[in-house]
Amino acid sequence: MKFDIAVIGGGIVGAATFYKLQIKYPNLKIALFEKEALLADHQTGHNSGVIHSGLYYKPGSLKARNCIQGRHELVAFAKEHGIKHDVCGKVVVATDASELPNMERIFKTGLENKIEGIEMINADQVREIEPHVQSIGGIWVPCTGIIDFRGATAKMVELALATQEGSKLFLETEVLAIDKGEESSVIHTSKGDYEAEYLVFCAGLQADRLAKKDGIKLKEKVVGFRGDYYELTPEAKHKVKNLIYPVPNPDFPFLGVHFTRMTDGEVECGPNAVFTFKREGYGKTDFSLKDTVDALTYKGTWKLFFNNMSFGINEYRRAFSKKLFLKTLQRMIPDLTMEDIHPGRSGVRALLLAEDGDTRDDFRVEYHGKSIHVLNAPSPAATASLAIGQYIADEAEKQFNLK
């Protein structure tokens, strides 16, 4: 089967790209390949379901611009198509005086990014929003929300397929190899061969491997980090109204353990962040020899470990200790007890790790002949997905000279 464009990867970024390309070019036949039986079955379906505001990201960066644009577009999309969501707001709270300079810095970044409605609030105002939180002040972010990202992904694909009957979704179809030709490429998959003139890769946890299969000489590697969640019991859910975040430590590449009310009414606490021995492993003891060797023979992984040694040890201890996890949660909600939480699900985050161990790379898109690769799309990529999809559709026009 021959297509004009093939999109590889059926997470929300791949789905949004498929959707935006199809809307922009309704006459083109586009294929979407996903190796799992369901769309959004890895990072998208295992994240915390938060519509991010854009509060934390460097002004002018792809993350900042796409998150803010993407948030507005995602909320409008959810309203139009009946996707479960709620723009409920969140508080970012400081519990120690040492966090105040960072909180001030984040607030200034939010103002530079023109995040609507944010304000510095005192401890009493925090308690009005979240009565069980003990803090010394915080930031109120009214435009943060929650959404069903799996539902949004499925709707984007459904709308794209309805636009062009020649376009197709291929589930349980893993891309194994690419043969590049002058006019088009042959995509060798677990279910046979397909042909496409142009390729767009949105492969998340497998982005680096597919880039190499497509002939890109990539220095960096994707390294996976598992995040474990606890859930509040039905009796304890009243202790969290919406979203509660700590002030993030600027030396650590994650936002810290937080509380999230989900669209189904459950309340999650987490995630932590530990190196995973399997890129798509959601259990604490999941192991892949290939993934482990890949990560541990890469100098960037060791640089990251050494640069964040104390953080890493604490995260690992917390991964295997409910008591330590609870202690972290009690910094914000002191009256939580062991009986209030029980183990929940886990997710894995893909980070394109530089050789010096730096994880703070912006969203990264590269071009290679008739291919576009989304090499790095960590959080807030789900929030930004429609903006990223539009960006790729616009870039495809330039790179591929599409009409």
Instruction: Give CA angle at 177 (171, 179), nearest 5°.
Output: 120
pLDDT for the residue 76: 98
Model confidence pLDDT, tens digit, residues 102-141: 999 999 999 999 999 999 999 999 999 999 999 999 999 9
Model pTM? 0.96
* % pLDDT > 90, the chain: 92
Whether residue 269 is predicted with pLDDT greater than 70 in this model: the reply is yes
Model confidence pLDDT, tens digit, residues 160-204: 999 999 999 999 999 999 999 999 999 999 999 999 999 999 999
**Tally: H helices and E strands in the chain:** 11, 20
**The pairing of beta strand 90-94 with beta strand 243-246:** parallel
Burial of 264 (0-12, 13-18, 19+ CB in 10 A): exposed
Whether residue 361 is predicted with pLDDT greater than 80 in this model: the reply is no
Average pLDDT over residues 89-100: 97
Average pLDDT over residues 240-256: 87
pLDDT for the residue 255: 78
Residue ranges and CATH numbers for the domains of the chain are: 2-45+150-220+361-400 (3.50.50.60), 221-353 (3.30.9)
End-to-end CA distance of the chain: 22
Q: How confident is the model at residue 253 (pLDDT cuts 50, 70, 90)?
A: low
pLDDT for the residue 312: 85
Q: Which range, of 185-189, 337-341, 349-353, averages the lowest pLDDT?
A: 349-353
Burial of 358 (0-12, 13-18, 19+ CB in 10 A): middle
